[in-house]
Each structure stands twice: as structure tokens, then as C-alpha cells.
């Protein structure tokens, strides 16, 4: 029975590690997406500033389009990162539940064996 409990604990630790790893990767992905977004905003502002006065409206329109695209890309990356974390959390919960069920099954079988042995005596 102790072996089953050890397996359950090991499974829970591994599951938690996977979740923590996914969360760290998501944070890194979000950070990179945000950095790219800031860079896009900076580039767009610089292009508008460099534009000739008569071309400024056109440059602003292009800049707004690029910024909107950058915002969309960043948002998609952040959502995907969050989805991966959620998937890891769901998988971890499933692994933990399965391990707990197996431990409980071993306990029940051990208890049944004890009752059988007691009934024989």
C-alpha cells in the first residue's frame, strides 16, 4: 500500500512540475509578445515622425494598421499561451485523479484481503 501512495505522490509532483513549466513558458511567451508589440508601436511612431508633412496622414494610417496587426498577433500568442497552461492544468488534475483512484483501488484490495484472511481464521 505504501508503494501505491508513493506512486501517487510521484505522479502529483510530476504533474505539478509540468504545470509550473507550462506557466513559466507562458510567461516567457507573453513577455516576448509584449516586447514585440512595444517595438511595433515604437517603429510606427518613428515612421510617422519621419514622414513629410504631406505624407503624414498616409504614414499614420499605415502605422495604425501595423499597430493593429501587432496587437492582434500579440493577443493571439497570449491566448495560445494561456490555453497551453489550462491544458497542462487539466492534464495534471486528470493524472492526479487517476493516481488517487489507483491508490484507493490498492487500499480496497488490501482491505478485502484482510477481511478474507480474518474470515478464514
8 A C-beta contact, residue 40 and residue 66: yes
Mapped onto helix, strand or coil, the DSSP state of residue 66 is helix
Range of the domain at 34: 2-120
8 A C-beta contact, residue 99 and residue 11: yes
* Distance separating alpha carbons of residues 110 and 121, to the nearest angstrom: 17
pLDDT tens digits for range 54-113: 888 999 999 999 999 999 999 999 999 999 999 999 999 999 999 999 999 998 998 898
| pLDDT band, very low/low/confident/very high, at 20 (cuts 50, 70, 90) | very high
* Distance separating alpha carbons of residues 68 and 29, to the nearest angstrom: 19
* Distance separating alpha carbons of residues 71 and 83, to the nearest angstrom: 18
- Report the number of distinct structural domains present in the chain: 1
Amino acid at each position: 500500500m505504501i508503494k501505491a501512495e508513493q506512486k501517487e505522490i510521484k505522479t502529483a509532483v510530476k504533474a505539478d512540475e509540468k504545470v509550473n513549466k507550462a506557466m513559466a513558458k507562458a510567461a516567457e511567451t507573453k513577455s516576448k509578445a509584449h516586447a514585440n508589440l512595444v517595438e511595433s508601436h515604437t517603429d510606427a511612431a518613428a515612421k510617422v515622425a519621419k514622414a513629410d508633412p504631406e505624407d503624414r496622414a498616409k504614414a499614420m494610417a499605415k502605422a495604425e494598421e501595423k499597430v493593429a496587426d501587432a496587437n492582434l498577433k500579440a493577443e493571439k500568442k497570449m491566448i495560445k499561451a494561456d490555453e497551453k497552461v489550462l491544458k497542462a492544468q487539466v492534464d495534471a488534475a486528470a493524472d492526479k485523479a487517476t493516481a488517487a483512484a489507483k491508490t484507493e483501488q490498492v487500499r480496497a484490495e488490501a482491505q478485502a484481503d484482510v477481511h478474507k484472511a480474518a474470515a478464514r481464521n
